[in-house]
Structure 1
Amino acid sequence: MLGKFRPRHYLLSTTLLGSAVCISPAYAQDVPGGETVIEDASPIVVTGSRIQNPNLEQSSPVQVVGESEIGLRQATNAEELIGDLPGVSPGANSAVNNGGAGFASLNLRGVGTNRNLVLLDGTRLVPSSLLSETDLNIIPVALIERAEIVTGGASSVYGADAIAGVANFITKRDFAGVELASTVGITERGDGARYRFDVTVGANFDDGRGNAVLNIGYQKVEPVFQGGRAVSRDTYFLDGSLVGSGTTTPTRINNRIYNPADGALRDYVGSRDAYNFAPANYFQTPLERYNMFGAAQYEVADGIEIYAKGMFTRSKVQLSLASSGMFGDTWQLPLNNPFLPDAVRSEVCASNAISAADCAAAGAATSPNDPAYREVAAVINRRFIEAGPRIRNLTTNQFQVWAGVRGSITDAIDFDVYGLHGESDRKNSNINWGLKSRVQQALRANSTTECADPANGCVPINLFGDGTDISQEAIAFFNQPAGSTVSTRLSVVSGSISGELGNFLAGETPIGFALGAEYRKYGASQVSDVAFGTQDEVLGTGAPSPSFSGTYDVKEIFGELIVPIVEDVPGIYSLTAEAGIRLSDYSNTGTSTTWKAGGTWEPFRGYKLRGIYQHSVRSPNISELFTPITTGLANLAEDPCQGSSPVGNAALTAICIAQGAPPGTIGNIPSPSSGQINQTAGGNPNLDVEIADSYTLGLVVTPPQVPGLAITADYYHIKITDAITLPTPNDVFGPCFEEGDAAACALIRRNPLNGSLNGGGDTPGQIALLTNQGTITTSGVDLRINYGLPTGFGRLNFDLSGNWTEQSKFKASPTSINRECVGQYSTNCGFFAGEITPKYSFNVRATAQIDDFGDISLLWRWLDGADYERILDAEGIEPDYLHIPSYSYFDLTYRAKVADIFTLTLSVQNLLDKNPPLVSNYVGTTALNSGNTYPTTYDVLGRRYSLTASMRF
């Protein structure tokens, strides 16, 4: 096919050799020297450049996960292929339960999931979120030939949102035949089962002028509960004590616990009364996914090909949290509530200066129309354990279609023109959460069976039992479903030409160039029902999700050059310069310019130096611009105003009162509920662009003297200024309470009833606004060593991929701390970088290919140790929680070709059954520090087994 595409384009560059490219023999063959020759004449995708001549060395480093590695990993989805590569931080994934969004995202270099791109065959995919994140779950794993990751930035090639780079999943071309594949897996403890089934059918037609392929897949992942692992069965606080949530059963009212056994109230003591919320949470969220992918191309004329692709994915992810409840909001408590014990009524009256006579009269009132009727404001915490766990079902339907034409204009110049359109709809349905307005209505009861307002079939609620007293009829009344739908759209029209301009100065390799233009239009909306869009209405959700929408488009032109300057002279085997530019016109932020400049110098064959500098200008996305301001949750383990802390400290007392704490609450202000405080935040339509400058300097060694050896080492440095960021809670609380900064103190607003930082919409908590005042910096070194050699029994292959992170810094504003997060963990570092970023990490795979037996492969994954953020006060924290030692995991795989058409692969992951570190549930952010550990960094499932059977004919 496309016979006029030039044969000299078909050698993969040595940039890829250092990255262990493994391509199926059906499409390629290995030749001496480690190069890979493509046998058909299909155009090659070179990630990081639109110049399709791999002989022209690009200067950006590329990591490659080849088809052999994909098979050894037995991945059920794309996140498992690249999520644990050194230097790659996963974003949200299957280990994120409280805070999960129903998709898996990527966080290259730890600078944010919205600062990298996920591509399929070099083209964009429709975002799955309002933040323009792409769901890795939509990638058709069965058809992936390799995954290539450019981590030095790729903005001038793909757009300015590729600040940290791209992950490009490249599909198999010209697939012919039928392939059936099935993977099953389970943990040693008998839970967390995984299933994947794929059928792929492809054929060539019209004497090889055309090819069509169709893949249909099904994946299912069963849950693993935190109650099923020793590390997470109970909830630990920072001091090592067993704690939980202050939303309890029995009822906690105004920080006092009602004991139904004796009808009396007592002070709330967390170590005794807190609710253990851990067992109902997931360590592995369940997933069910159906996907289809089809592609076809046809050579309509000599050197001219039309092509089309289409994909559809339907996935359902479920999240599970502990039972809903009344989470410390301010409630209007009728003193005539028929379930209200006398002891509670008397204490509530006394705290509100209501006389005993008036209290008794209010308690005897027959209805709200009674002159003696009275309500008092009360902070109530009550866990609705009768209703069962909170369930969130997230169902996503995504499709995307491509159509284009490509071919040769001349023997030296090719073209490619295509359009694509994709849409994603993610429906969020909340079950067992409850509606605040209906609970309030159910509190206003004339009797145990009659509500004062009988609308909607109201049933009175009994809060003062032992956890079995709320009737199922009452639950059915207030437990109405609520939800929203997030929709995203992407349309692209793109055209480019690329090819050769002849020789320059010296040598035989021609100049490579690419020129093109692109138009993209993004649209996104969030449509919520009335309950889900109303502040405080859905219990236990944190922030509401008001309906809103936004759109923007961008027009771009771009160009690239790779210029061979000198070749094959003494001291210069090859010298190449590279440049690229992209001019963008955004409808929301105007014009901007992104560019790159670099080069490679190979003084001797097989020994090469490379470097590139890139300047990027990223425009804010729809979420950053248009999300309405609402009150939700942020992480803070301890409030400086809580408990007895301000007693006897006049300055601290004054600050707490100035922030809205009533003077009478000093000495009794509750601590943050479950390590969370209210935070008021949202989008900012006045945001401008952020600027990123990055460079990489590297070495590539493929010595002819050592066939099969490839070494790459690259230093990278990325600095983002005018970064779109939110301040962390410590960025506000530190200046306020440690330095007395009045401006910072003004950004903290307290509950007007009890002085806490929790409550409903009347408690803003920390006020955090998105600005362009941030600075993000990261740097380090990537190392890759790959070596293969023949043996008397077959072949040995070794592959090491390592990373040293020199710095990972975040400064939310000019007055904030320039926070260093390498090898450190805390709510601050989790707030920015996503999870723990080890200083050193590496993966080593050793594979023995044994003739007539199969492959035996051992993967060793090593993470350097980490410390609790060193600049924070560690007083009172359990010493064992201040340090996590280095961790090693081993995965053992055996793969055998049982017959010509049949292959079996058996793996044991976490071979030594290594347990995760125990660091409490409060050292990091809620989403990532869960189950007393970091489940996105450390293996919480334990030893597990998987088996894949593949048949191709």
Structure 2
Amino acid sequence: MTRILRARSTGAWLGASVAVLAWHALATAAVAQSAPAEAQPEAAAPAPHETEIVVTGSRLGSNFNAPTPVTAVTNERLEALSITNVGEALTQLPSFRSSSGPAQQATAGGPVGARLLDLRGLDPQRTLVLVDGRRFVPSTPQGTVDVNLIPSSLVQRSDVVTGGASAAYGSDAVAGVVNFVLNRKLKGVQAEVVGGISQRGDDGNFFASIAAGGDLSSRVHLVGAVEYEKLDGLGDCYTRAWCANQTLILGNTAPGAGGLPANLIIAGVNTSTLSPGGLINRSYNAAGRPIGTNATDPLRGTQFLANGTPAPFNYGTLVGPLFMLGGEGQGRNSFISPFRLKVPVERVSSYAALTAELSDRVTLGVDLSYGQVRGTVVSNVLRDYDGRLMGRIKRDNPFIPASIAAAMDANGVASFVLGRAGFDLGPSYAKTRTTTYRGAVSLKAEVSDNWTVEGFYQYGRTEFRQRSYNAINTLNLPKAIDAVNVNGQAVCRVNADANPANDDPNCVPFNPFGEGRYDPRAAAYITGNGFQNTTNEQHVAAIDLRGTLVTLPAGPVKLAVGGEYRSDRIVSTTDPVSLVNGFWTLNGSALSGSVNVKEGYGEIAVPVLADSAIGHALDLNGAIRRTDYSTSGAVTTWKLGAVYEPVAGVRFRATRSRDIRAPNLSELFGPRTRRTIGLTDPLTGLQTNPTVITGSNPNLSVEAADSWTVGAVLTPSGGFLGRFRMSVDYYNIKVKNAIGTLGAQTLAERCNQGVTQFCALITRDPTTNTILEVQDVYLNSNELRTKGFDIEFQYRQPLGGLGSLNAQLLANITQALTTVDSAGAVDRAGQTGFRTGTVPGVPDYVIDGLLTWTKGDFQLTGHGKYIPSGIYWTNFTGPDQPGYSITSPTSVDNNRVPSRFYLDLTARVKVPVVDGREFELFGTINNLLDRDPPSIPGPSGGTNQILFDPVGRAFKIGARVRFGS
């Protein structure tokens, strides 16, 4: 009922938000661009140089009005908003979820800073990326494409198909397709330089690009581009006030106690069982049993100051197994302080394309590209609150201060658990480098006036290198901690006991009491450096025949048939410690696998009506593809579509398709990584800090999707109405046997609800029943469902001597984003919070607006984005939600995330120069209103960085030059 009520109210909220957006944009500045940043390609004839390029969503050429909704983002949008990366421009669109990038990968390893496209919130693996209609080589270990590697300066437009297109282009096109259309006819030179910085003096960035093209002869044309970008990133959580307030989830271990729910989202949360110098959490007798209770334990609550001196620990209130409210530790919360809010990234990308007319009917094409992305990610500092990593500190440890040793003797304490946050050791971190090479050769021949055949071969190679540093070696750490006194000298127990088989001559005892009081050789022993080298190789060969089958009274029947062969192979090597998951975080993995794919397809377009008494136009479209995978067998995909135009300027369209995605090599054979997270155990209600293993699963099967879209396009002509266009499309996608991760917290919740197959992925301590490890690996997690509306609106208004205004509005309404398993359904539509260890959601709706004022060579552009209020987490229930009970383990004091409106402003001025030369200066203020993100728990501590801006007000200035046509 809640979902129904919310869906019914969305229209009213959308209307109100549109008004708010328009008011903000008009009141703050007149806004933005002489040509629409995005348009429906079928509403206007293609430019002459585009007729050689396949329209995205169909292989039948640009003269057919495809029934699948297509949004075109032109290079004008990037220039109007001073965006230097086409991936950033695309993820601004409401139909995308920004699931990766410099801000989104602040705590993860893998390809740091990669920009992966995620349509519909269905994950990047379900969005197919093409360049000029051809599949681009995978550039990440997950088999997705990092669009950092595609030069934005050579991209003429980006076509976004928001519907299934597997029948036309193959596997992965479940959520849709993004096709980068390159400017292969460029003549002259164009260059751009941009620099920026935030108002707070960080997030520095620099970008430079140059693109050029020209005729080598009357039949040979060459274009090329090179660009360089450097992003400095942000510091850790304490560099922003909204994060430094340490807003985290604090568990009330007895739900309802003190009149409070089970969970509190509250500022001022410190760690209750960790301190930088060490904190004694529990004492044990010689039999290994706890002494007394927490309240009567003789040593509990003794911390060690930086110099190793014992002192009482100041507990706050609502003390739990991980966190407390207030008390000691402000500014040194080890669950948030190491992680950067935005990682530094450096990239280079280049592309060259040669077109040669070998004869009047035969054309040769050669494409070469190279790109490299480097990034650095900061991971965890040592966190051990229950002895899982260090083990218990025994009485004969020579580093125990004398006063504590005496207290142990007096109270029969044989050992204790020391909670330690290793700030003095520093965090582990990783540097990554992703390098992609791609080459393609094509031959196109006009075999008759109506038929064309084209074949191509493509080779791609991606080399991923990760080097991790200062990673805690969980094999060595307990040996270095467990020291004894031998002749007045501290030595590792393994080298002093009677068993020579466990000796380790490299072991150096580590002093855990205080900060930095250890032997540097001990620090070197318990930390280490790791690596992962992964190579992806892809070969693609394809042939395509298309042309006119027959001409009907309504027009020609178009047919395309073809076949494709693809081979993908992945090989990865790693260090010996990572091979046994010996590092606490950032483990590499050894793997090897390959898959071969053979495909055959056909597509037909049939015009039924043209200027008839019962309609201006009616076109039908159908496609079918048979795909045979060496790993998962053969499968058939298909598509049916129709476009009906009852009168000129009013068009209705619909598609129905079956789409598939086979598990890629990374999902089947890829790396598994290890990290630790804060997690609430739904069985006990206690907070814990388990190890989470994420990565591959060789037992995956193919996922299949049933998709359909239906919509209407209004493109009236003449007078006032001729300046207006609008489209509304409804989509519905159901993915069965969907491949993905559910998140450690979700797995624990589902296990507790009775899903026994998920319980097998969770390891508990046999004595305390505490969760020790969760395998959050890829699963065929049953079903994904999403449905909603895409809305686009454009209007142009001449202002006479004052210039002109151009307005554009894009909106997405998500009615459902549901994961279904055997325990039921979880709908993440409307979830704008992002809890660590869970799957992110999407807002109920998102509105993106542009308003441009143009007068002569001057333009002023305003860009606004509105994100409505949402819920923090679907598994929580707040006081304003149905079913709330203060005694429920899922109750929370506030499950709401406030709305945000962001406004950007760009000014541009063009200075024409003689002989077709042009010079342009521009400046941009991003987040003009300096809106902080909502202060909520997130993967890096303080917010949902997938959705909200962590930077604040920031500035860019730059210049562009153009020479030639």
Shorter-chain TM range is 0.7 to 0.9
Cα distance in 1 for partners of 2:705, 2:142 equals 18
1:569 to 612, 622, 628: 612
Letter in 2 for 1:711: M
Cα distance in 2 for partners of 1:579, 1:163 equals 17
Partner residue, 1:649? none
Letter in 2 for 1:73: L
Shift of 1:322: 4.8
Cα distance in 1 for partners of 2:465, 2:375 equals 10
Cα distance in 2 for partners of 1:583, 1:728 equals 34
Is the Cα contact below 8 Å between 1:496 and 1:516 reproduced in 2?
yes
Q: Which has the bigger relative contact order, CA under 8 A and spacing at least 6?
A: 2
Partner residue, 2:626? 583
Partner residue, 2:238? 227
CA gap 1:639/1:678 in 2 versus in 1, 3 angstroms: farther
Letter in 2 for 1:907: T
Is the counterpart of residue 539 in structure 1 residue 584 in structure 2?
yes
2:310 to 260, 263, 274: 263
Percent of aligned pairs with the same amino acid = 27
Partner residue, 1:937? 947
Is the counterpart of residue 300 in structure 1 residue 368 in structure 2?
no
Cα distance in 1 for partners of 2:428, 2:755 equals 40
Q: What's the CA shift string for 1:460-515, capped at 9, x where partnerless? A: 321012x23134343234332112122222211111011222322x22x3112211
For residue 190 of structure 1, give the secondary structure of its aligned residue in structure 2. Answer: coil
CA gap 1:528/1:606 in 2 versus in 1, 3 angstroms: same
Shift of 1:22: 9.5
Is the Cα contact below 8 Å between 1:690 and 1:722 reproduced in 2?
yes
1:600 to 643, 648, 654: 643
Cα distance in 2 for partners of 1:228, 1:828 equals 21
Cα distance in 1 for partners of 2:435, 2:751 equals 46
Cα distance in 2 for partners of 1:499, 1:526 equals 44
Partner residue, 1:872? 876
What is the 5 A alignment of 1:103-142?
Answer: 103-142=114-153
2:58 to 16, 26, 49: 49
Is the counterpart of residue 886 in structure 1 residue 899 in structure 2?
yes
CA gap 1:182/1:893 in 2 versus in 1, 3 angstroms: same
Is the Cα contact below 8 Å between 1:231 and 1:931 reproduced in 2?
no
What is the 5 A alignment of 1:115-514?
Answer: 115-207=126-218, 209-225=219-235, 226-238=237-249, 239=264, 240-244=266-270, 246-255=273-282, 256-260=300-304, 263=310, 270-271=323-324, 272-273=327-328, 275-277=332-334, 278-326=336-384, 328=386, 329-332=388-391, 333=393, 335-342=395-402, 380-443=418-481, 444=483, 446=485, 453=495, 458-465=507-514, 467-504=515-552, 506-507=553-554, 509-514=555-560
2:780 to 758, 761, 772: 772
Partner residue, 2:838? 831
Cα distance in 2 for partners of 1:633, 1:479 equals 17
Cα distance in 2 for partners of 1:434, 1:829 equals 21
CA gap 1:743/1:532 in 2 versus in 1, 3 angstroms: closer
Partner residue, 2:865? 861
Is the Cα contact below 8 Å between 2:33 and 2:854 reproduced in 1?
no
Cα distance in 1 for partners of 2:92, 2:894 equals 24
Q: What's the CA shift string for 1:857-904, capped at 9, x where partnerless? A: 111111121013455344499978421232211111111112332111
TM-score, reference length from structure 2 = 0.82
What is the 5 A alignment of 1:519-538?
Answer: 519-535=565-581, 537-538=582-583
Cα distance in 1 for partners of 2:50, 2:673 equals 55
Shift of 1:321: 3.5
Q: What's the CA shift string for 1:831-850, capped at 9, x where partnerless? A: 33xx3411121111111110
Q: Structure 2 unaligned segments of length 5 or more: list them.
A: 1-31, 250-263, 283-299, 496-502, 879-885
Shift of 1:114: 1.1
Partner residue, 1:617? 660
CA gap 1:428/1:570 in 2 versus in 1, 3 angstroms: same
CA gap 1:838/1:769 in 2 versus in 1, 3 angstroms: closer
Q: What's the CA shift string for 1:23-67, capped at 9, x where partnerless? A: 999xx9x9xx98355244861331111112x22111000111112
Shift of 1:791: 3.0
Is the Cα contact below 8 Å between 1:129 and 1:486 reproduced in 2?
no
For residue 707 of structure 1, give the secondary structure of its aligned residue in structure 2. Answer: helix
Is the counterpart of residue 716 in structure 1 residue 731 in structure 2?
yes
Cα distance in 1 for partners of 2:314, 2:129 equals 53
Cα distance in 2 for partners of 1:557, 1:350 equals 81
Cα distance in 1 for partners of 2:627, 2:754 equals 44
CA gap 1:742/1:614 in 2 versus in 1, 3 angstroms: closer
2:669 to 626, 630, 634: 626
Partner residue, 1:650? none
Is the Cα contact below 8 Å between 1:459 and 1:473 reproduced in 2?
yes
Q: What's the CA shift string for 1:386-439, capped at 9, x where partnerless? A: 233332111111111111111311111112211111111111111222323333
Shift of 1:637: 3.3
What is the 5 A alignment of 1:93-112?
Answer: 93-95=101-103, 96-101=105-110, 102=112, 103-112=114-123
Letter in 1 for 2:654: G
Cα distance in 2 for partners of 1:266, 1:236 equals 21
Q: What's the CA shift string for 1:301-331, capped at 9, x where partnerless? A: 1121111111111221111235335565244
Moved more, 130-139 or 620-629: 620-629
Q: What's the CA shift string for 1:155-179, capped at 9, x where partnerless? A: 1111121100111111111222222
Shift of 1:457: 5.2
CA gap 1:388/1:704 in 2 versus in 1, 3 angstroms: same
Is the Cα contact below 8 Å between 1:330 and 1:380 reproduced in 2?
no
For residue 562 of structure 1, give the secondary structure of its aligned residue in structure 2. Answer: strand
Cα distance in 2 for partners of 1:326, 1:41 equals 60
Cα distance in 1 for partners of 2:190, 2:742 equals 51
Partner residue, 2:806? 797
Shift of 1:743: 7.0
Cα distance in 2 for partners of 1:322, 1:747 equals 23
Is the Cα contact below 8 Å between 1:297 and 1:306 reproduced in 2?
yes
RMSD over aligned Cα atoms? 3.1
For residue 624 of structure 1, give the secondary structure of its aligned residue in structure 2. Answer: helix
Moved more, 192-201 or 228-237: 228-237
1:808 to 817, 820, 827: 817
Cα distance in 1 for partners of 2:626, 2:513 equals 65
Moved more, 593-602 or 883-892: 883-892
Is the Cα contact below 8 Å between 1:881 and 1:920 reproduced in 2?
no
Shift of 1:530: 0.9
Is the Cα contact below 8 Å between 1:22 and 1:67 reproduced in 2?
no
For residue 579 of structure 2, give the secondary structure of its aligned residue in structure 1. Answer: coil
Cα distance in 2 for partners of 1:608, 1:82 equals 26
Letter in 2 for 1:780: G
1:952 to 917, 942, 962: 962
Partner residue, 1:555? 598
Shift of 1:521: 0.9
Partner residue, 2:25? none
Cα distance in 1 for partners of 2:127, 2:756 equals 37
Is the Cα contact below 8 Å between 1:324 and 1:540 reproduced in 2?
no
CA gap 1:308/1:379 in 2 versus in 1, 3 angstroms: farther
CA gap 1:327/1:548 in 2 versus in 1, 3 angstroms: farther
For residue 202 of structure 2, give the secondary structure of its aligned residue in structure 1. Answer: coil
Q: What's the CA shift string for 1:228-260, capped at 9, x where partnerless? A: 211112422222142355543122455545423
Cα distance in 2 for partners of 1:310, 1:714 equals 37
Shift of 1:618: 2.1
Is the Cα contact below 8 Å between 2:173 and 2:660 reproduced in 1?
no
2:770 to 753, 756, 768: 756
